[in-house]
Amino acid sequence: MRFFKFLLFITLLFTACKNDTTNTNQEVKSKVSDSLKLTPKEVSKINFKDIGLDSKTNTVISNWQAYLNIVNGIENLKTADFTFFNTDIDVFNSSLKDFENTIPEAINSEPVKARVLVLKTMLYKFHEIESLITSTKNEKLQSIQDVFVALSNLNLQINKKVEKDSQVIIKPY
């Protein structure tokens, strides 16, 4: 009987200790995940030149649905909303493939294709950093800045292409 009481005491002791460590581990994990979350204020501090599209490009871009979807996802980054990047991986990949494959003929040139490829690469990079548990807040912020810069460069290149195509230069004979 004495052995039975001792065994019961040891069992209760181990179960009580196990509950305390589980609670502290959950608290530590929640504190770590909260410290890695980005706020809109932190994202707004990112320094980059935001280049928008010219009014002349509206006719070209208005039918490019893949571009509009990507830009909406990137605009949501400014409010620290990562739903575009946290969706199903197949949806994300198909959006980027459509983005690259459906460039309108009016702006389909090598410089624009290069900027699209850079933006696509930066989006993949951010998607990977966002999905990793081990990524730091600084890595996420740097990756967001890279995405913003890549989009600005694409917009600048589209503006240049449309501006150049709209110029009528009369060449002498």
Measured in degrees and rounded to the nearest 5, phi and psi for residue 37 equal: -75, 135
Fold of 39-166: Four Helix Bundle (Hemerythrin (Met), subunit A) (1.20.120)
More confident residue, 5 or 82: 82
pLDDT score for 27: 56
Q: How many Å apart are CA 73 and CA 132, to the nearest integer?
A: 19
Record the tokens describing residue 54, joined without a space. 């010219």
Nearest to 38 by CA among 87, 73, 78: 78
Q: Over the stretch 102-131, which tens digit does the pLDDT of each residue have? A: 999 989 999 999 999 999 999 999 999 988
Q: Label residue 24 by pLDDT band (50, 70, 90).
A: low
Residue 25 has pLDDT above 60, yes or no: no
Q: Of 7-16, 20-29, 106-115, 148-157, give the lowest mean pLDDT range.
A: 20-29
Residue 91 has pLDDT above 70, yes or no: yes
Residue 11 has pLDDT above 70, yes or no: yes
- Most confident region among 5-9, 36-40, 54-58, 143-147 by mean pLDDT: 143-147
By CB atoms closer than 10 A (0-12, 13-18, 19+), residue 121 is middle
The separation between CA 26 and the C-alpha centre of its own chain, rounded to angstroms, equals: 27
pLDDT score for 12: 67
- 162, 59 contact by CB (below 8 A): no
Q: Label residue 17 by pLDDT band (50, 70, 90).
A: low
pLDDT score for 26: 57
* Residues listed for the chain: 173
Task: Over range 80-85, report the average pLDDT.
Answer: 86
